[in-house]
Amino acid sequence: MTNRRSFIKQMAAAGIASSMPAALFSRQAKSQNQNQNKDMIWANLLHLSYNMWEDNVPLKYRDENYNCKTCQEAREWAHGYRSFLTFDESTWDATLKEMAAVGMNMVVIDLGDAVQYESHPEIAVRNAWTPEKLRLELAKMRKLGLEPIPKLNFSTGHKAWLGDYSRMISTKTYYTVCRNLIDEVIELFDYPRFFQLGMDEETPQHQRLHDYAVIRQNDLWWGDLYFLIGEVEKKGVRSWVWSDYAWHNPEPFFRKMPKSVLQSNWYYGSVFDQSKLKEPNKTYVKLYDDLEKYGFDQIPTGSNHSNDVNMEATVDYCKKVIDPSRLLGFMTAPWRPTLAPCLDTHKEAVQQISRAMKKF
């Protein structure tokens, strides 16, 4: 078993230990008391970039001019790497307006390769937004009462957006690119409250269709996570991750995960009664309880991806098992590209969280 001292030596050898804040291991961050109704977070995860997977997809979906007629077709067409932006601005605008109309207050934006970063313009896909365009859109969101939060998913299960760097994971070049992107995005967002780092679904199963699969484990996974957290926190921004690493690795998760890191467990089923659930769903739901037991701040995440009752059921369950001081809010994640055929699905996601808000 690697102890902390030898682990830090390993990280120093990799050239990344200097980026880990001194308080990372010891700080037990105080919960931000944002649980008052007026301060509750009601967020939506929207995709500027949809380049999250590298799966091989059917030939009929590889044509840039393929005419999507349904939401499911649009999702299949957008699934897998695309060298161009899979995005429709009118769908984006309509969804943001719908969110503002029901009183939602946060947009988590999956940026990926959809921005022409000044530090790494080589990552950007065709028609990616300029930094100036992004700033204008952020200002528009704020005027609507929507707090914009950046998301770059650094899980190797969702590495397609990194382009050539997706094949340089855990190298000095990779760390430099990650540092540059985090710094630039934080400045573009005017030092946001949170930074969503992803880190979900890094398993062999999730990469079984990828042409290039890479899975970090043990101290390497933790070392890279600490590096990313360090880069975010030294800018005064709070890190936010998906929590599903704990599904498969509960003991190291609760021993090593800093309390400063905001957690989003996710479960998209319709049943929450653990006595009626079988594995793995029982583990998925139970993690809400376990995160509370160990004192983590949470933003539970539901979806209309699988059914039309999950979001309200997520709110009903989590408000019972999570202390108000640690329940910062809720997020919906429809997992659809921001394309016209999916507009109704995006609107349904907003309406479902709207119903949940009224019941809270």
pLDDT band at 60 (very low <50, low <70, confident <90, very high): low
- Asked if residue 26 has pLDDT above 50, the reply is no
Instruction: Provide the whole-model pTM.
Output: 0.90
Contact 20, 11 (CB under 8 A): yes
Neighbouring CB atoms inside 10 A of 140's CB total 13
Contact 160, 50 (CB under 8 A): no
Interatomic CA distance for residues 141 and 107, integer angstroms: 8
pLDDT band at 59 (very low <50, low <70, confident <90, very high): low
For the CA atoms of 233, 238, 239, 244, what is the dihedral angle to 10 degrees?
A: 150
The confidence score (pLDDT) of residue 30 equals 45
Least confident of 13-27, 33-47, 187-201, 299-313: 13-27
Name which of 238, 254, 240, 258 is nearest 291 in CA terms.
Answer: 254
Contact 360, 327 (CB under 8 A): no
- Asked if residue 301 has pLDDT above 70, the reply is yes
Phi/psi region, residue 52 (left: phi>0; alpha: psi -120 to 50; beta: rest), is alpha
- Asked if residue 36 has pLDDT above 60, the reply is no
Mean pLDDT, the chain, as a whole number?
A: 91
Quickly name the fold that domain 40-359 has: TIM Barrel (3.20.20)
SS (H, E, C) 37-75: HHHCEEEEEEECCCCCCCECCCHHHCCCCCCCCCHHHHH
- Give pLDDT tens digits for 188-218: 999 999 999 999 999 999 999 898 999 999 9
Q: Which of residues 209 and 162 earns the better pLDDT score? A: 162
| Residue type at position 67 | N
Three-state secondary structure call for residue 211:
coil
